[in-house]
Chains A and B, each alone.
Chain A
Amino acid sequence: MTQFLQQIINGLSLGSIYALIALGYTMVYGILKLINFAHGEVFMVGAYTGLYAASALGIDAFEASGRSFPLYLALLVLVVAMAAAAVLGVLIEFLAYRPVRNAPRLTPLITAIGVSLFLQNAGMLVFSPNPQRYPAILREVRFEVLGVIVTNIKLTIFGVALALMLGLHLLVQKTWTGRAMRALSFNIDAAKLMGIDTNRVIRSTFAIGSGLAAAGGILFGLDQITINPLMGVLTGLKAFVAAVLGGIGSIPGAVVGGLLIGLAEQLTAGYLSPAYRDAITFLILIGILLLKPEGLLGVVRVEKV
């Protein structure tokens, strides 16, 4: 039983990270009908930015002397990483996606794959292809609850993810930008005709999604302890599957999907075999696309003939 609870805890924390990344996929797809393959790499850049920001703020000194990295500096690292990722996301949109926005569906898909490959390989050049140890922005504290090991890092992941998702929810429901985003996801041409500056809304969407992914990146680094330039490939893909599972274009769907994928992965690794932890995600992808392509919380769209 404790083994099961342990897997659940681990799965939910992993799933929270997937959810943060999945939100970016789902928001962009909802508006542009584009699978932003490069989103996984934004997640990776966010993680690395966190690493470098922490170094710049002297985390090595703290670690050497055994003191904890101050909370306010940790938050600063988070903000810096999220901001940097937001800028990257907007740049990608502007340079690579906007020129092909009206091209037939395949062209932006290939462009996105190209950007993803570019960032992966550029990352290997800039950040070194070897895995790097993630700084202890949060020093790990373990405690046992009902026989299950919980760390403060896992709790932080839940907390940060929850806070960010609530923030996003408020933004989408209560602010003008959020309303505009929803309008664009229904009908981008109508939104344009209503006088909404679609370019600005799209930029915001990319910025917000990228920021969330960066937060996910830092949390991932804290949880997994090492990062490498290719970390975005598999994780990004799994987060994308999460978005599809939940219903691509649906924000609550991305959250639900992320948590489910995290759980599925942990339970498979724990009870079946670690070798198949990646395969289960692909099986879920195939399953959902064949059985219910609109996802768990998505809406079926009928094509007008």
Chain B
Amino acid sequence: MTLLELLKVEKTFGGLRAVHDVSFAVEKGAIFGLIGPNGAGKTTLFNLITGVYQPDRGAIMFAGKDIAGSRPATIAALGVARTFQNIRIFRAMTVEENVMVAGHHLHTASIVDAMLRSRRYENDERALSKRAGELLQILGLADLARETAGSLPYGSQRRLEIARALMLSPQLLLLDEPAAGMNSQEARTLNEQIRFLRDQLGLTVVLVEHNMAVVMSVCDTIHVVDHGETIAEGTAAEVKVHPKVLAAYLGEEPKQAEI
């Protein structure tokens, strides 16, 4: 079943055509890769899917519903969670609080309940804390629960962002360059974590990534964009040797390359 589908999406900023006629479909339970040279429009696509930008044309279907133009909070509540290219955790809050913030659907107490510290409020807090604890455990951050998020090392901050995203109990998880700044050992661990997210937690994952080792090893389908347009789609093996992909990354057709 198709969970996410983009249909002929267009987005222009002033004079710049960031995304032009892009379409792809992501099957439920897939790990879908979105790659392309810098400035190709990948993060813009994420921003379009999550409602940060509105597409000028085209449809974005999530679980059968067109979410193009909806507000980000609405889309997140429907089950689309994301991480950011340059980590956007809440630096002044603790690790635990960062995750708890995303637990709106678990939180039924009202503001009045909070002000009066009613029983309902206290139950809510316990539930939030418990669920956050579970997620931190999964991401290996349980020891750091009380630490200020801003003081964490880079790798831990990335994992925190994922834990926070998981708090939404999403169906679809968009990871924006999760391997940035990682060495090959860390990248291999990341591969396992991504597979874990799909296999154990039942998530569908869309991955924007530059680290080819990660992309090629973990993605079922890879969609390649350059200058805002689709240039290829297929399995890792297919995309690796696709002439247009090579041209986009290396700058020229292989048979024209000079030694």
Direct contact of A and B (CB under 8 A): yes
Contact across chains for A305 and B52 when beta carbons are under 8 A apart? yes
Contact across chains for B47 and A305 when beta carbons are under 8 A apart? yes
A305 vs B53: C-alpha distance in the bound complex, in angstroms?
9
Contact across chains for A305 and B43 when beta carbons are under 8 A apart? yes
The secondary-structure label for the interface of chain A is: loop
For A71-114 the 0/1 string (1 means CB < 8 A from B) is: 00000000000000000000000000000000000000000000
Residues of A within 8 A of B47 (CB): 305
Residues of B within 8 A of A305 (CB): 43, 47, 52-53, 84
Residue of B nearest to A300 (CB): B14
A305 vs B52: C-alpha distance in the bound complex, in angstroms?
8
Contact across chains for B13 and A302 when beta carbons are under 8 A apart? yes
List A264-305 residues whose CB lies under 8 Å from chain B. 302, 305
Residue of A nearest to B72 (CB): A305
Minimum CB–CB distance from B109 to chain A (whole Å) comes to 31
Place the interface of chain B in its size category.
under 10
Residues of A within 8 A of B53 (CB): 305
Residues of B within 8 A of A302 (CB): 13-14
A305 vs B14: C-alpha distance in the bound complex, in angstroms?
16
Interface size on A, residues (CB 8 A): 2
Residues of A within 8 A of B43 (CB): 305
List A148-186 residues whose CB lies under 8 Å from chain B. none
Minimum CB–CB distance from A300 to chain B (whole Å) comes to 9
Residue of B nearest to A302 (CB): B13
Minimum CB–CB distance from B175 to chain A (whole Å) comes to 15
Residues of A within 8 A of B84 (CB): 305
Residue of A nearest to B176 (CB): A305
A302 vs B14: C-alpha distance in the bound complex, in angstroms?
9
Residue of B nearest to A303 (CB): B52
Residue of A nearest to B47 (CB): A305
Residue of A nearest to B44 (CB): A305
A27 vs B128: C-alpha distance in the bound complex, in angstroms?
50
For B86-114 the 0/1 string (1 means CB < 8 A from A) is: 00000000000000000000000000000
For B33-60 the 0/1 string (1 means CB < 8 A from A) is: 0000000000100010000110000000
A302 vs B53: C-alpha distance in the bound complex, in angstroms?
10
Residue of B nearest to A299 (CB): B14
For B149-178 the 0/1 string (1 means CB < 8 A from A) is: 000000000000000000000000000000
Residue of A nearest to B14 (CB): A302
Minimum CB–CB distance from B77 to chain A (whole Å) comes to 19
Minimum CB–CB distance from B86 to chain A (whole Å) comes to 9
Residues of A within 8 A of B14 (CB): 302
Minimum CB–CB distance from B16 to chain A (whole Å) comes to 10
Residue of A nearest to B88 (CB): A305
A302 vs B52: C-alpha distance in the bound complex, in angstroms?
11
A305 vs B49: C-alpha distance in the bound complex, in angstroms?
13
Minimum CB–CB distance from A186 to chain B (whole Å) comes to 14
A151 vs B47: C-alpha distance in the bound complex, in angstroms?
59
A302 vs B43: C-alpha distance in the bound complex, in angstroms?
15
Residue of A nearest to B85 (CB): A305
A258 vs B124: C-alpha distance in the bound complex, in angstroms?
55
Residues of A within 8 A of B52 (CB): 305
A302 vs B47: C-alpha distance in the bound complex, in angstroms?
13
Minimum CB–CB distance from A228 to chain B (whole Å) comes to 45
A302 vs B84: C-alpha distance in the bound complex, in angstroms?
18
Residue of A nearest to B84 (CB): A305
A81 vs B128: C-alpha distance in the bound complex, in angstroms?
65
A139 vs B181: C-alpha distance in the bound complex, in angstroms?
73
A302 vs B13: C-alpha distance in the bound complex, in angstroms?
8
Minimum CB–CB distance from B124 to chain A (whole Å) comes to 31
Residue of A nearest to B46 (CB): A305
For B54-79 the 0/1 string (1 means CB < 8 A from A) is: 00000000000000000000000000
A302 vs B16: C-alpha distance in the bound complex, in angstroms?
12
A305 vs B43: C-alpha distance in the bound complex, in angstroms?
8
Residues of A within 8 A of B13 (CB): 302
Minimum CB–CB distance from B111 to chain A (whole Å) comes to 26
Minimum CB–CB distance from A299 to chain B (whole Å) comes to 9
Minimum CB–CB distance from B85 to chain A (whole Å) comes to 9
Minimum CB–CB distance from A154 to chain B (whole Å) comes to 42
Minimum CB–CB distance from B115 to chain A (whole Å) comes to 27
Minimum CB–CB distance from A277 to chain B (whole Å) comes to 39
Minimum CB–CB distance from A75 to chain B (whole Å) comes to 45
Residue of A nearest to B53 (CB): A305
List A230-257 residues whose CB lies under 8 Å from chain B. none
A302 vs B12: C-alpha distance in the bound complex, in angstroms?
11
A305 vs B82: C-alpha distance in the bound complex, in angstroms?
13
A305 vs B47: C-alpha distance in the bound complex, in angstroms?
8
Residue of A nearest to B13 (CB): A302
Minimum CB–CB distance from B221 to chain A (whole Å) comes to 25
List B1-29 residues whose CB lies under 8 Å from chain A. 13-14
A305 vs B84: C-alpha distance in the bound complex, in angstroms?
9
Minimum CB–CB distance from B53 to chain A (whole Å) comes to 8
Binding site for A on B (CB under 8 A): 13-14, 43, 47, 52-53, 84
**For the complex of A and B, 7 pairs with smallest distance between CB atoms:** A305-B52, A305-B47, A302-B13, A305-B43, A305-B84, A302-B14, A305-B53
Between-chain CB contacts (< 8 Å), 7 pairs:
A302-B13, A302-B14, A305-B43, A305-B47, A305-B52, A305-B53, A305-B84
